[in-house]
Structure 1
Amino acid sequence: MTLFFAIVALAFAAVIFMQQPKFGKMPTGDRLERIKRSPNYKNGAFQNLSPTPSFTDGANFFTVMREFFFGGDPRIKPTDTIPHVETDLRNLPIDEQVLIWFGHSSYFMQVDGKRILVDPVLSGGASPLSFTTRSFAGTDAYAVSDLPPIDYLFITHDHWDHLDHETLKKLRSTVKAVICPLGVGAHLEYWDYDPAIIHEEDWNQTIALDDHFMAYTTPARHFSGRGFRRNQTLWTSYVLQTPSMRIFIGGDSGYDSHFAEIGRTFGGFDLAILENGQYNKSWRHIHTMPDEVLRAAADLKAKNVFPVHSSKFPLATHAWDEPLIKIVQAAEKTDLRLLTPMIGQVVHLDDSTQVFSHWWEGVN
Structure 2
Amino acid sequence: MSPDASFLKVLVNFLNKPKTAYPSQPLPAVRTDLKALPAGAPVIIWFGHSSYLVHHNGFNVLVDPVLSGHASPVPFMVKAFPGSNIYAVDDLPDIDLLIITHNHYDHLDQQTLRRLRSRVKTVYTALGVGRDLVKCGIPANLITEMDWWDADEVAPGVTLTATPARHFSGRGLRRGGSLWASFVLQLNGSRIYVGGDSGYDTHFKTIGEKYGPFDLALLETGQYNPSWPNIHMNPEEAVQAAVDLRAEVFLPVHWSKFALAYHPWYEPAERAVKAAAAQDVRITTPRIGEPVILGGDMPGQHWWENLKTFGNLK
For the aligned pair, the TM-score class normalised by the smaller chain equals over 0.9
8 A contact 2:45–2:292 mirrored in 1: yes
In the alignment, structure 1 residue 125 sits paired with structure 2 residue 70: yes
In the alignment, structure 1 residue 326 sits paired with structure 2 residue 266: no
Residue 50 of structure 1 is matched in structure 2 by none
Residue 312 of structure 2 is matched in structure 1 by none
CA offsets 1:18-71 (integer angstroms, 9 cap, x no match): xxxxxxxxxxxxxxxxxxxxxxxxxxxxxxxxxxxxx1152121232333334x
**Secondary structure, in 3 states, of the residue corresponding to 1:83?**
coil
- The more displaced of 247-256 and 181-190 is 181-190
* Distance across 2 between alignment mates of 1:264 and 1:97: 23
8 A contact 1:271–1:304 mirrored in 2: yes
**Secondary structure, in 3 states, of the residue corresponding to 2:21?**
coil
* Distance across 1 between alignment mates of 2:187 and 2:57: 7
**Secondary structure, in 3 states, of the residue corresponding to 1:324?**
helix
**Secondary structure, in 3 states, of the residue corresponding to 1:331?**
helix
8 A contact 1:217–1:239 mirrored in 2: yes
Residue 14 of structure 1 is matched in structure 2 by none
Which of these residues, 271, 285, 300, is aligned with residue 340 of structure 1? 285
* Distance across 1 between alignment mates of 2:224 and 2:244: 20
8 A contact 1:95–1:113 mirrored in 2: no
* Distance across 1 between alignment mates of 2:122 and 2:218: 21
8 A contact 2:157–2:189 mirrored in 1: no
* Distance across 1 between alignment mates of 2:158 and 2:267: 36
Residue 144 of structure 1 is matched in structure 2 by 89
* Distance across 2 between alignment mates of 1:173 and 1:278: 32
8 A contact 1:199–1:207 mirrored in 2: no
* Distance across 1 between alignment mates of 2:62 and 2:288: 15
8 A contact 1:57–1:281 mirrored in 2: no
* Distance across 2 between alignment mates of 1:282 and 1:98: 36
- Which structure 1 segments of 5+ residues have no match? 1-54
TM-score normalized with structure 2 length: 0.95
In the alignment, structure 1 residue 67 sits paired with structure 2 residue 10: no
- The more displaced of 90-99 and 212-221 is 90-99
8 A contact 1:112–1:244 mirrored in 2: no
**Secondary structure, in 3 states, of the residue corresponding to 2:8?**
helix
* Distance across 1 between alignment mates of 2:86 and 2:299: 23
Residue 91 of structure 1 is matched in structure 2 by 36
CA offsets 1:103-138 (integer angstroms, 9 cap, x no match): 000011112541111000000000112111110000
Residue 354 of structure 1 is matched in structure 2 by 298
Structure 1 pair 189–65 and aligned structure 2 pair: CA distance change class (3 A): closer
Which of these residues, 83, 106, 109, is aligned with residue 51 of structure 2? 106
**Secondary structure, in 3 states, of the residue corresponding to 2:137?**
coil
**Secondary structure, in 3 states, of the residue corresponding to 2:306?**
coil
In the alignment, structure 1 residue 155 sits paired with structure 2 residue 100: yes
Question: Residue 348 of structure 1: CA displacement?
Answer: 1.2
Question: Residue 355 of structure 1: CA displacement?
Answer: 4.0
Residue 28 of structure 1 is matched in structure 2 by none
Residue 164 of structure 1 is matched in structure 2 by 109
TM-score normalized with structure 1 length: 0.82
8 A contact 2:292–2:299 mirrored in 1: no
**Secondary structure, in 3 states, of the residue corresponding to 2:145?**
strand
Structure 1 pair 234–320 and aligned structure 2 pair: CA distance change class (3 A): same
* Distance across 2 between alignment mates of 1:165 and 1:127: 10
Question: Residue 267 of structure 1: CA displacement?
Answer: 3.0
Question: Residue 329 of structure 1: CA displacement?
Answer: 1.1
Residue 313 of structure 1 is matched in structure 2 by 258
Percent identical pairs in the alignment equals 49
8 A contact 2:78–2:259 mirrored in 1: yes
Pairing 1:43-82 to 2, within 5 Å after superposition: 55-56=1-2, 58-70=4-16, 72-82=17-27
8 A contact 1:112–1:243 mirrored in 2: no
Residue 227 of structure 1 is matched in structure 2 by 172
Residue 187 of structure 1 is matched in structure 2 by 132
Residue 52 of structure 1 is matched in structure 2 by none
8 A contact 2:162–2:183 mirrored in 1: yes
8 A contact 2:209–2:245 mirrored in 1: yes
Counterpart amino acid of residue 59 in structure 1: A
**Secondary structure, in 3 states, of the residue corresponding to 1:283?**
coil
Q: How many residues were matched structurally? A: 308
* Distance across 1 between alignment mates of 2:87 and 2:212: 35
Counterpart amino acid of residue 11 in structure 2: M
* Distance across 2 between alignment mates of 1:286 and 1:63: 17
